[in-house]
Amino acid sequence: MSDESNMALSGLQLAQIALDQKKLPEAESLARKSAATFEKIKSAVSAGVTHALLAQILLQSGNTKDATSAAQRAVSLAQQGSDRPPRLLTTMVEARTQAANGKTAEATKTLQNVLAEATRYGYLSYQFETRLALGEVEMTSGHAAAGRAWLEALEKDALAKGFIRIARKAKEART
């Protein structure tokens, strides 16, 4: 079981790298395999995190319907555990799918709640990820000026704290 878990974890990490490199079919395949393995070995929280990544991949692929299903599954699985970070992550991804489905006000409220909780408990990486999502929602919901300002501030803050990947994503989202 440990070998299966380690292989699934490696697959999850490779899927994240493939997503960052915009290799969406490869990322999707890796994420689906890892999610299936985590569910098979009854690692609900890890399966939830993997479904959240799958939802992000599907969103970038333009497959909003399947991304929404994956995000809902992610939230359901993550709630089976008591760890806060997976719940923050999966809720954030679910909000991204809400925004993709035109529910920007609902998505913004959800993301603001995630940001408040991440801030309250000192999860800096989740704060940055949530701020990125908020900026992206602003950009796509007709508030481009506010979104650009939000993302520019995030880029500066992320660089100052050494979060290069987030800073790069904020810059990409702004342009």
Q: What is the pLDDT of residue 175?
A: 86
Q: What is the pLDDT of residue 142?
A: 86
Q: What is the pLDDT of residue 147?
A: 92
Candidates 55, 70, 49, 43; CA nearest to 19 is 55
Model pLDDT for residues 113-127, shown as the tens digit of each residue: 999 999 999 999 999
Q: How far apart are CA 100 and CA 124, in angstroms?
A: 25
For the entire predicted model, the pTM comes to 0.92
For the stretch 9-16, contacts whose Cβ atoms lie closer than 8 Å and that sit 24 or more positions apart, written own/partner, are 9/34, 9/46, 11/37, 12/46, 12/49, 12/50, 12/53, 15/50, 15/53, 15/54, 15/57, 16/53
Identify how many contiguous H helices and E strands the chain contains and give both numbers: 9, 0
Q: How far apart are CA 174 and CA 131, in angstroms?
A: 13
Characterise 80 by phi-psi region: left (phi > 0), alpha (psi -120 to 50), beta (else): alpha
Model pLDDT for residues 66-112, shown as the tens digit of each residue: 999 999 999 999 999 999 999 999 999 999 999 999 999 999 999 99
Candidates 57, 55, 43, 59; CA nearest to 9 is 43
Residue 127: how many CB atoms within 10 A of its CB?
A: 24
Model pLDDT for residues 4-18, shown as the tens digit of each residue: 999 999 999 999 999
Model pLDDT for residues 133-173, shown as the tens digit of each residue: 999 999 988 889 999 999 999 999 999 999 999 999 999 99
Q: How far apart are CA 107 and CA 34, in angstroms?
A: 27
Q: What is the pLDDT of residue 66?
A: 97
Domains, in order of start, for the chain? 1-82 (1.25.40.10), 102-175 (no CATH)
Give the mean model confidence (pLDDT) for residues 19-29. 96
Q: Assess whether pLDDT exceeds 90 at residue 1.
A: no
